[in-house]
Structure 1
Amino acid sequence: MTMIEKAPPRLSLAALRGMLGRCPSCGEGKLLQGYLKVVPSCPSCGEAYGHLRADDMPPWLTVFIVAHIVIPPMLYLEQVYQPNVWLQSIGWSVASLALTLAILPRCKGVVLALMWSLKSEGSEREETP
């Protein structure tokens, strides 16, 4: 009898699992331990993740998403109600910080899951001629 290997999940399913903080392979084990530390391997299926390096992509993606969420209402409120500058500074800073802290681990999970799906390690280097 031949042993049939389980096919890896589709890219979108792996990304969804990563966003939820789960193993992109089995969907059961945790991908991150603590806030942003990558687990060495999945406790459920044993898939290794310690070699993946997401580097700057999760923070960049987080800033991109938070800016698109915060800036439109900020501009709208400025045009319509013209609140005090100190009130806006405090309010939008707190909103931006809260969104960043909530979104960053999800972005890291998505990036790690996509790297795993595409069999990338994050340590690839371009060859110089």
Structure 2
Amino acid sequence: MTQTDMNSERDTLRATWKGFCGRCPNCGSGPLMKGFLQVRDHCPECQEPFHYHRADDGPAYLTILIVGHLMAPLLLAVYTAFRPEPMMLFLGFLVGTVGLSLFLLPRFKGGLVAFQWARYMHGFESGRAT
């Protein structure tokens, strides 16, 4: 990495989108995740380190926020319009809520790790020249 690269700002939106898609925020080709929610220590393509990340509970909070704000009005709309049986309503929204949560959780984690990388947060600033 050259001195110019280390002083340059990283494109936060692009990096976050790459992370949301599960790709390395630096090169965009290497996988960010090793498992469902386990972040790799480094990118296998460009060797960018990721072990500095501190995603903690952020992805879970974002997932709950988004899923709750989507499902609550949808539940009211479906109940008001169709008046389904309570068990059918419960099962339908159970599957939808769990499915959407499982879909969004790793994406939010990847996006949050990439956001931290792009903003030089926590240990990611060690690659930046002062």
TM-score by length of 1: 0.86
1:4 Cα deviation (Å)? Answer: 5.3
1:75 alignment partner in structure 2:
76
Q: Which has the higher helix share?
A: 2
TM-score by length of 2: 0.85
Amino acid at match of 1:119: Y
Question: Aligned residue pairs: how many?
Answer: 120
> 5+ unaligned residues in a row in structure 2: which ranges?
124-130
Fraction of identical pairs, as percent? 35
Amino acid at match of 2:46: C
Runs of 4+ in structure 1 over 6 Å off: none
Q: Residues of 2 paired with 1:112 and 1:121: CA distance? A: 11
What's the CA shift string for 1:50-83, capped at 9, x where partnerless? 1212001000001111112222221111112211
What's the CA shift string for 1:35-60, capped at 9, x where partnerless? 01010001111110012120010000
Alignment check: 8 A CA contact 2:33 2:40 kept: yes
Q: SS of the residue aligned with 1:83?
A: coil
Alignment check: 8 A CA contact 2:16 2:112 kept: yes
> 5+ unaligned residues in a row in structure 1: which ranges?
123-129
Q: Residues of 1 paired with 2:56 and 2:12: CA distance? A: 20
